[in-house]
Structure 1
Amino acid sequence: MTRFRESVRSLLREQVLDAAYRLVAADGWGVLRMAAIARAAGISRQTLYNEFGSKEAIGNALIQRELEGFLLGIQRELDAHRGELEAAAVAGVGYTLQQAVDNPLIKSVLLAARGGEDDLLAYLTTRPEPVFGTAMAMLDAYAIEAWPDVDEESRGLAVETIVRLTVSHIVQPVASPEESARRIARITARIAYPGGVRPDGRGEAR
Protein backbone atom coordinates (compact mmCIF):
# COMPACT_ATOMS: atom_id res chain seq x y z
CA MET A 1 0.00 0.00 0.00
CA THR A 2 2.84 2.41 0.85
CA ARG A 3 4.48 1.81 -2.54
CA PHE A 4 1.12 2.37 -4.27
CA ARG A 5 0.63 5.68 -2.46
CA GLU A 6 4.13 6.80 -3.39
CA SER A 7 3.46 5.92 -7.02
CA VAL A 8 0.17 7.86 -7.01
CA ARG A 9 1.89 10.87 -5.40
CA SER A 10 4.68 10.79 -7.98
CA LEU A 11 2.13 10.71 -10.80
CA LEU A 12 0.25 13.59 -9.21
CA ARG A 13 3.40 15.70 -8.96
CA GLU A 14 4.27 15.04 -12.60
CA GLN A 15 0.71 15.91 -13.60
CA VAL A 16 0.95 19.23 -11.74
CA LEU A 17 4.38 20.06 -13.13
CA ASP A 18 3.30 19.23 -16.67
CA ALA A 19 0.33 21.58 -16.27
CA ALA A 20 2.47 24.35 -14.76
CA TYR A 21 5.05 23.93 -17.53
CA ARG A 22 2.41 24.41 -20.23
CA LEU A 23 0.97 27.48 -18.50
CA VAL A 24 4.34 29.13 -17.91
CA ALA A 25 5.48 28.44 -21.46
CA ALA A 26 2.25 29.96 -22.82
CA ASP A 27 1.63 32.93 -20.51
CA GLY A 28 4.70 33.44 -18.32
CA TRP A 29 5.36 32.93 -14.62
CA GLY A 30 4.22 36.31 -13.31
CA VAL A 31 0.52 35.85 -14.13
CA LEU A 32 0.41 32.20 -13.08
CA ARG A 33 -1.95 31.42 -10.19
CA MET A 34 -2.35 28.29 -8.11
CA ALA A 35 -6.02 28.07 -9.11
CA ALA A 36 -5.06 27.96 -12.79
CA ILE A 37 -2.51 25.22 -12.17
CA ALA A 38 -5.10 23.16 -10.26
CA ARG A 39 -7.64 23.52 -13.06
CA ALA A 40 -5.10 22.60 -15.74
CA ALA A 41 -3.97 19.57 -13.71
CA GLY A 42 -7.55 18.46 -13.04
CA ILE A 43 -7.26 18.59 -9.24
CA SER A 44 -8.58 20.76 -6.43
CA ARG A 45 -6.69 23.75 -5.11
CA GLN A 46 -6.55 22.10 -1.70
CA THR A 47 -4.89 19.02 -3.18
CA LEU A 48 -2.39 21.26 -4.95
CA TYR A 49 -1.55 23.13 -1.73
CA ASN A 50 -1.30 19.89 0.21
CA GLU A 51 1.26 18.56 -2.26
CA PHE A 52 3.35 21.67 -2.97
CA GLY A 53 2.40 24.30 -0.41
CA SER A 54 3.14 27.34 -2.55
CA LYS A 55 3.70 28.67 -6.04
CA GLU A 56 7.39 29.11 -5.18
CA ALA A 57 7.68 25.39 -4.42
CA ILE A 58 6.22 24.59 -7.83
CA GLY A 59 8.72 26.95 -9.46
CA ASN A 60 11.56 25.24 -7.66
CA ALA A 61 10.30 21.81 -8.72
CA LEU A 62 9.89 22.94 -12.33
CA ILE A 63 13.45 24.21 -12.55
CA GLN A 64 14.78 21.13 -10.76
CA ARG A 65 13.06 18.84 -13.25
CA GLU A 66 14.42 20.78 -16.21
CA LEU A 67 17.89 20.76 -14.66
CA GLU A 68 17.85 16.99 -14.27
CA GLY A 69 17.10 16.62 -17.98
CA PHE A 70 19.86 19.08 -18.85
CA LEU A 71 22.40 17.23 -16.70
CA LEU A 72 21.63 13.88 -18.33
CA GLY A 73 22.19 15.45 -21.74
CA ILE A 74 25.37 17.15 -20.59
CA GLN A 75 26.77 13.87 -19.29
CA ARG A 76 26.15 12.23 -22.66
CA GLU A 77 28.06 15.04 -24.36
CA LEU A 78 30.93 14.82 -21.88
CA ASP A 79 31.18 11.05 -22.28
CA ALA A 80 31.55 11.46 -26.04
CA HIS A 81 34.74 13.51 -25.44
CA ARG A 82 35.96 11.93 -22.21
CA GLY A 83 39.67 12.07 -23.00
CA GLU A 84 39.85 15.80 -23.78
CA LEU A 85 38.69 18.34 -21.24
CA GLU A 86 38.33 21.31 -23.58
CA ALA A 87 36.51 19.35 -26.28
CA ALA A 88 34.19 17.91 -23.63
CA ALA A 89 33.53 21.38 -22.23
CA VAL A 90 32.70 22.72 -25.71
CA ALA A 91 30.24 19.87 -26.25
CA GLY A 92 28.62 20.13 -22.81
CA VAL A 93 28.28 23.91 -22.78
CA GLY A 94 27.17 24.02 -26.40
CA TYR A 95 24.45 21.47 -25.69
CA THR A 96 23.25 23.44 -22.67
CA LEU A 97 23.14 26.80 -24.45
CA GLN A 98 21.30 25.37 -27.45
CA GLN A 99 18.81 23.57 -25.24
CA ALA A 100 18.17 26.84 -23.40
CA VAL A 101 17.41 28.54 -26.73
CA ASP A 102 14.98 25.78 -27.72
CA ASN A 103 13.36 25.11 -24.32
CA PRO A 104 9.87 26.72 -24.03
CA LEU A 105 10.07 27.14 -20.25
CA ILE A 106 13.49 28.81 -20.29
CA LYS A 107 12.46 31.08 -23.16
CA SER A 108 9.36 32.14 -21.26
CA VAL A 109 11.34 32.85 -18.09
CA LEU A 110 13.90 34.97 -19.95
CA LEU A 111 11.27 36.92 -21.89
CA ALA A 112 9.38 37.65 -18.66
CA ALA A 113 12.59 38.79 -16.97
CA ARG A 114 13.33 41.23 -19.78
CA GLY A 115 9.86 42.65 -19.20
CA GLY A 116 10.54 43.16 -15.50
CA GLU A 117 9.06 39.90 -14.15
CA ASP A 118 11.98 37.91 -12.81
CA ASP A 119 10.59 35.78 -9.96
CA LEU A 120 11.30 32.47 -11.67
CA LEU A 121 14.60 33.72 -13.07
CA ALA A 122 15.90 33.83 -9.50
CA TYR A 123 16.01 30.02 -9.52
CA LEU A 124 18.57 30.24 -12.33
CA THR A 125 20.66 33.07 -10.94
CA THR A 126 20.53 34.44 -7.39
CA ARG A 127 19.42 31.32 -5.55
CA PRO A 128 22.25 28.81 -5.07
CA GLU A 129 19.90 25.83 -5.38
CA PRO A 130 18.93 24.01 -7.42
CA VAL A 131 21.01 25.11 -10.39
CA PHE A 132 24.42 26.00 -9.04
CA GLY A 133 24.65 23.45 -6.26
CA THR A 134 23.31 20.51 -8.24
CA ALA A 135 25.25 21.27 -11.41
CA MET A 136 28.54 21.87 -9.61
CA ALA A 137 28.20 18.70 -7.54
CA MET A 138 27.55 16.62 -10.66
CA LEU A 139 30.37 18.16 -12.67
CA ASP A 140 32.84 17.93 -9.78
CA ALA A 141 32.09 14.23 -9.30
CA TYR A 142 32.44 13.68 -13.05
CA ALA A 143 35.72 15.60 -13.25
CA ILE A 144 37.28 13.61 -10.41
CA GLU A 145 36.75 10.43 -12.42
CA ALA A 146 37.32 11.73 -15.95
CA TRP A 147 40.26 14.09 -15.35
CA PRO A 148 42.13 12.86 -12.25
CA ASP A 149 45.25 14.79 -13.31
CA VAL A 150 43.56 18.11 -12.45
CA ASP A 151 44.39 19.12 -8.88
CA GLU A 152 41.57 19.69 -6.40
CA GLU A 153 41.79 23.50 -6.27
CA SER A 154 41.96 23.92 -10.04
CA ARG A 155 39.13 21.46 -10.49
CA GLY A 156 36.88 23.34 -8.06
CA LEU A 157 37.60 26.68 -9.71
CA ALA A 158 37.07 25.24 -13.20
CA VAL A 159 33.75 23.63 -12.26
CA GLU A 160 32.40 26.79 -10.63
CA THR A 161 33.57 28.90 -13.57
CA ILE A 162 31.97 26.74 -16.24
CA VAL A 163 28.65 26.57 -14.40
CA ARG A 164 28.42 30.27 -13.62
CA LEU A 165 29.54 31.37 -17.07
CA THR A 166 27.10 28.99 -18.75
CA VAL A 167 24.18 30.26 -16.68
CA SER A 168 25.29 33.84 -17.39
CA HIS A 169 25.27 33.16 -21.13
CA ILE A 170 21.83 31.56 -20.87
CA VAL A 171 20.45 34.65 -19.15
CA GLN A 172 22.28 37.20 -21.32
CA PRO A 173 23.70 35.68 -24.51
CA VAL A 174 26.41 37.71 -26.23
CA ALA A 175 27.22 35.35 -29.11
CA SER A 176 25.97 32.19 -30.77
CA PRO A 177 25.77 29.05 -28.58
CA GLU A 178 28.70 27.58 -30.55
CA GLU A 179 30.99 30.59 -30.09
CA SER A 180 30.04 31.04 -26.44
CA ALA A 181 30.72 27.35 -25.81
CA ARG A 182 34.18 27.61 -27.35
CA ARG A 183 35.07 30.66 -25.24
CA ILE A 184 33.77 29.17 -21.99
CA ALA A 185 35.58 25.89 -22.69
CA ARG A 186 38.85 27.69 -23.37
CA ILE A 187 38.59 29.59 -20.09
CA THR A 188 37.75 26.39 -18.21
CA ALA A 189 40.72 24.51 -19.68
CA ARG A 190 43.11 27.31 -18.73
CA ILE A 191 41.85 27.23 -15.15
CA ALA A 192 42.06 23.45 -14.97
CA TYR A 193 45.61 23.48 -16.40
CA PRO A 194 47.01 26.85 -15.28
CA GLY A 195 50.42 26.12 -16.78
CA GLY A 196 48.86 25.41 -20.15
CA VAL A 197 50.15 21.82 -20.17
CA ARG A 198 48.77 18.66 -18.63
CA PRO A 199 50.94 16.76 -16.17
CA ASP A 200 51.48 14.06 -18.80
CA GLY A 201 53.08 16.66 -21.07
CA ARG A 202 50.21 16.97 -23.49
CA GLY A 203 49.03 20.47 -24.26
CA GLU A 204 45.46 21.28 -23.24
CA ALA A 205 44.86 24.99 -22.70
CA ARG A 206 45.70 27.25 -25.60
Structure 2
Amino acid sequence: MTGYRESVRSLLKERLLDAAYERVTADGWDRLRMAHIAATAGVSRQTVYTEYGSKDAIGQALVMREVERFLAGIGEQLDAHREDPREAVRAAVRFTLASAADNPLLKSILTSSRGGEDDLLAHLTTRSEPLLETAGTMLGDYAARAWPFIAPDACDLAVETVVRLTVSHIVQPSAPPDVTADRVSLVLARIALLPEEDGARKDGGPET
Protein backbone atom coordinates (compact mmCIF):
# COMPACT_ATOMS: atom_id res chain seq x y z
CA MET A 1 0.00 0.00 0.00
CA THR A 2 2.86 2.38 0.78
CA GLY A 3 4.29 1.88 -2.70
CA TYR A 4 0.89 2.63 -4.22
CA ARG A 5 0.53 5.85 -2.23
CA GLU A 6 4.00 6.97 -3.27
CA SER A 7 3.19 6.23 -6.90
CA VAL A 8 -0.02 8.23 -6.72
CA ARG A 9 1.74 11.13 -5.03
CA SER A 10 4.50 11.09 -7.65
CA LEU A 11 1.89 11.25 -10.41
CA LEU A 12 0.18 14.13 -8.63
CA LYS A 13 3.44 16.06 -8.37
CA GLU A 14 4.06 15.58 -12.09
CA ARG A 15 0.52 16.72 -12.83
CA LEU A 16 1.06 19.88 -10.82
CA LEU A 17 4.38 20.55 -12.54
CA ASP A 18 2.76 20.03 -15.93
CA ALA A 19 0.11 22.59 -14.96
CA ALA A 20 2.73 25.05 -13.72
CA TYR A 21 4.78 24.56 -16.90
CA GLU A 22 1.72 25.27 -19.03
CA ARG A 23 0.91 28.47 -17.17
CA VAL A 24 4.49 29.75 -16.97
CA THR A 25 5.24 29.21 -20.66
CA ALA A 26 1.93 30.82 -21.64
CA ASP A 27 1.76 33.77 -19.22
CA GLY A 28 5.18 34.12 -17.60
CA TRP A 29 6.51 33.34 -14.14
CA ASP A 30 5.55 36.71 -12.68
CA ARG A 31 1.85 36.08 -13.35
CA LEU A 32 1.82 32.56 -11.95
CA ARG A 33 -0.23 31.97 -8.81
CA MET A 34 -0.77 28.77 -6.87
CA ALA A 35 -4.49 29.14 -7.62
CA HIS A 36 -3.70 29.06 -11.34
CA ILE A 37 -1.81 25.79 -10.95
CA ALA A 38 -4.67 24.30 -8.96
CA ALA A 39 -7.27 25.34 -11.54
CA THR A 40 -5.22 24.01 -14.46
CA ALA A 41 -4.51 20.71 -12.68
CA GLY A 42 -8.09 20.35 -11.47
CA VAL A 43 -7.21 20.19 -7.77
CA SER A 44 -7.62 22.43 -4.74
CA ARG A 45 -5.15 25.19 -3.96
CA GLN A 46 -4.43 23.46 -0.66
CA THR A 47 -3.31 20.38 -2.58
CA VAL A 48 -0.71 22.48 -4.41
CA TYR A 49 0.55 23.91 -1.12
CA THR A 50 0.61 20.47 0.48
CA GLU A 51 2.77 19.03 -2.28
CA TYR A 52 5.14 21.95 -2.86
CA GLY A 53 4.67 24.48 -0.09
CA SER A 54 5.50 27.61 -2.08
CA LYS A 55 5.78 29.13 -5.52
CA ASP A 56 9.55 29.11 -5.18
CA ALA A 57 9.54 25.35 -4.57
CA ILE A 58 7.47 24.93 -7.73
CA GLY A 59 10.07 26.98 -9.60
CA GLN A 60 12.96 24.88 -8.37
CA ALA A 61 11.10 21.69 -9.24
CA LEU A 62 10.37 22.99 -12.75
CA VAL A 63 14.01 23.89 -13.34
CA MET A 64 15.30 20.58 -12.00
CA ARG A 65 12.86 18.61 -14.14
CA GLU A 66 14.16 20.41 -17.22
CA VAL A 67 17.72 19.70 -16.08
CA GLU A 68 16.95 15.97 -15.89
CA ARG A 69 15.49 16.07 -19.39
CA PHE A 70 18.54 17.90 -20.71
CA LEU A 71 20.84 15.37 -19.04
CA ALA A 72 19.15 12.53 -20.90
CA GLY A 73 19.94 14.22 -24.21
CA ILE A 74 23.44 15.09 -23.06
CA GLY A 75 24.06 11.43 -22.22
CA GLU A 76 23.13 10.48 -25.77
CA GLN A 77 25.57 13.03 -27.17
CA LEU A 78 28.36 11.78 -24.93
CA ASP A 79 27.72 8.16 -25.89
CA ALA A 80 27.83 9.04 -29.59
CA HIS A 81 31.40 10.35 -29.16
CA ARG A 82 32.61 8.23 -26.25
CA GLU A 83 35.99 7.53 -27.82
CA ASP A 84 36.88 11.23 -28.04
CA PRO A 85 36.27 13.25 -24.85
CA ARG A 86 36.82 16.59 -26.55
CA GLU A 87 34.33 15.85 -29.32
CA ALA A 88 31.92 14.36 -26.79
CA VAL A 89 31.91 17.55 -24.72
CA ARG A 90 31.70 19.69 -27.84
CA ALA A 91 28.61 17.79 -28.99
CA ALA A 92 27.05 17.85 -25.53
CA VAL A 93 27.55 21.60 -25.09
CA ARG A 94 26.29 22.33 -28.59
CA PHE A 95 23.19 20.22 -27.94
CA THR A 96 22.56 21.91 -24.59
CA LEU A 97 22.86 25.47 -25.87
CA ALA A 98 20.83 24.85 -29.02
CA SER A 99 18.10 23.08 -27.05
CA ALA A 100 18.06 25.78 -24.38
CA ALA A 101 17.54 28.47 -27.00
CA ASP A 102 14.31 26.74 -28.09
CA ASN A 103 13.11 25.63 -24.65
CA PRO A 104 9.80 27.32 -23.74
CA LEU A 105 10.46 27.31 -19.99
CA LEU A 106 13.95 28.79 -20.30
CA LYS A 107 12.65 31.43 -22.69
CA SER A 108 10.03 32.36 -20.12
CA ILE A 109 12.64 32.50 -17.34
CA LEU A 110 14.91 34.83 -19.30
CA THR A 111 12.01 36.99 -20.53
CA SER A 112 10.66 37.38 -17.00
CA SER A 113 14.10 38.40 -15.72
CA ARG A 114 14.30 41.18 -18.28
CA GLY A 115 11.02 42.46 -16.91
CA GLY A 116 12.42 42.57 -13.39
CA GLU A 117 10.99 39.25 -12.13
CA ASP A 118 14.13 37.22 -11.50
CA ASP A 119 12.95 34.73 -8.85
CA LEU A 120 12.98 31.83 -11.29
CA LEU A 121 16.25 32.94 -12.89
CA ALA A 122 17.91 32.60 -9.47
CA HIS A 123 17.66 28.82 -9.83
CA LEU A 124 20.06 29.16 -12.76
CA THR A 125 22.33 31.73 -11.13
CA THR A 126 22.59 32.68 -7.46
CA ARG A 127 20.79 29.58 -6.20
CA SER A 128 21.97 27.13 -8.83
CA GLU A 129 23.67 24.67 -6.45
CA PRO A 130 21.13 21.82 -7.03
CA LEU A 131 21.44 22.24 -10.79
CA LEU A 132 25.23 22.37 -10.75
CA GLU A 133 25.49 19.41 -8.38
CA THR A 134 23.13 17.25 -10.44
CA ALA A 135 24.80 18.05 -13.76
CA GLY A 136 28.30 17.84 -12.30
CA THR A 137 27.65 14.46 -10.70
CA MET A 138 26.26 13.02 -13.92
CA LEU A 139 29.11 14.30 -16.10
CA GLY A 140 31.74 13.46 -13.49
CA ASP A 141 30.54 9.87 -13.15
CA TYR A 142 30.40 9.52 -16.91
CA ALA A 143 33.90 10.93 -17.42
CA ALA A 144 35.40 8.71 -14.73
CA ARG A 145 33.99 5.60 -16.43
CA ALA A 146 34.56 6.57 -20.05
CA TRP A 147 37.90 8.38 -19.81
CA PRO A 148 39.96 6.85 -16.98
CA PHE A 149 43.14 8.18 -18.60
CA ILE A 150 42.26 11.70 -17.38
CA ALA A 151 43.74 12.33 -13.94
CA PRO A 152 41.00 12.49 -11.27
CA ASP A 153 41.86 16.02 -10.07
CA ALA A 154 41.99 17.32 -13.63
CA CYS A 155 38.76 15.52 -14.44
CA ASP A 156 36.94 17.08 -11.47
CA LEU A 157 38.15 20.57 -12.39
CA ALA A 158 37.30 20.08 -16.07
CA VAL A 159 33.78 18.87 -15.29
CA GLU A 160 33.06 21.74 -12.91
CA THR A 161 34.37 24.27 -15.43
CA VAL A 162 32.42 22.82 -18.35
CA VAL A 163 29.17 22.73 -16.37
CA ARG A 164 29.52 26.26 -15.03
CA LEU A 165 30.51 27.70 -18.41
CA THR A 166 27.61 26.00 -20.13
CA VAL A 167 25.06 27.23 -17.60
CA SER A 168 26.53 30.73 -17.87
CA HIS A 169 26.09 30.70 -21.63
CA ILE A 170 22.51 29.46 -21.29
CA VAL A 171 21.70 32.50 -19.16
CA GLN A 172 23.76 34.99 -21.18
CA PRO A 173 24.93 33.64 -24.55
CA SER A 174 27.83 35.52 -26.09
CA ALA A 175 28.22 33.52 -29.32
CA PRO A 176 26.37 30.94 -31.43
CA PRO A 177 26.17 27.43 -29.88
CA ASP A 178 28.76 25.99 -32.29
CA VAL A 179 31.32 28.64 -31.39
CA THR A 180 30.75 28.34 -27.66
CA ALA A 181 30.89 24.54 -27.87
CA ASP A 182 34.27 24.75 -29.60
CA ARG A 183 35.60 27.09 -26.91
CA VAL A 184 34.32 25.01 -24.00
CA SER A 185 35.75 21.83 -25.52
CA LEU A 186 39.11 23.59 -25.82
CA VAL A 187 38.95 24.50 -22.14
CA LEU A 188 38.29 20.85 -21.35
CA ALA A 189 41.26 19.77 -23.46
CA ARG A 190 43.61 22.21 -21.77
CA ILE A 191 42.55 21.33 -18.23
CA ALA A 192 42.53 17.57 -18.91
CA LEU A 193 45.82 17.77 -20.81
CA LEU A 194 44.35 16.15 -23.90
CA PRO A 195 46.34 16.09 -27.15
CA GLU A 196 45.90 18.99 -29.55
CA GLU A 197 43.47 18.39 -32.39
CA ASP A 198 44.87 17.91 -35.87
CA GLY A 199 45.17 21.20 -37.69
CA ALA A 200 45.16 23.29 -34.53
CA ARG A 201 47.92 25.58 -33.32
CA LYS A 202 49.11 25.52 -29.74
CA ASP A 203 46.90 28.52 -29.01
CA GLY A 204 43.82 26.60 -30.15
CA GLY A 205 43.29 28.58 -33.37
CA PRO A 206 43.26 27.24 -36.95
CA GLU A 207 46.43 26.88 -38.90
CA THR A 208 47.25 29.69 -41.29
With the shorter chain as reference, the TM-score category is over 0.9
Distance 1:130 1:99 in 2: 20
Distance 1:22 1:121 in 2: 18
| Corresponding position of 1:129 | 129
**Large movers: runs of 4+ above 2 Å:** 202-206
RMSD after superposition: 1.8
Q: Where does structure 2 lack aligned partners over 5 or more consecutive residues?
A: none
- Per-residue CA distance 1:60-115 (angstroms, 9 max, x = gap): 11111111110011011000000111100111001100110111000110111122
| Corresponding position of 2:12 | 12
Contact in 2 for aligned 1:100/1:170 (Cα 8 Å): yes
Number of aligned positions between the proteins: 201
| Corresponding position of 2:37 | 37
Give the letter aligned to residue 41 of structure 2.
A
Q: 1:111-150 alignment to 2 at 5 Å? A: 111-150=111-150
Give the letter aligned to residue 137 of structure 2.
A
- 1:203 deviates by 11
Q: Where does structure 1 lack aligned partners over 5 or more consecutive residues?
A: none
Distance 1:129 1:39 in 2: 31
Contact in 1 for aligned 2:189/2:195 (Cα 8 Å): no
Contact in 2 for aligned 1:197/1:203 (Cα 8 Å): no
| Corresponding position of 1:57 | 57
Identity of aligned residues (%): 58
Distance 2:184 2:115 in 1: 28
Contact in 1 for aligned 2:110/2:171 (Cα 8 Å): yes
1:197 aligns with 2:195: yes
Give the letter aligned to residue 26 of structure 2.
A
Give the letter aligned to residue 187 of structure 1.
V
| Corresponding position of 1:96 | 96
| Corresponding position of 2:48 | 48
- 1:129 deviates by 2.9
Give the letter aligned to residue 131 of structure 1.
L
- 1:18 deviates by 0.4
Q: TM (normalized to structure 2)?
A: 0.91
Distance 2:128 2:137 in 1: 12
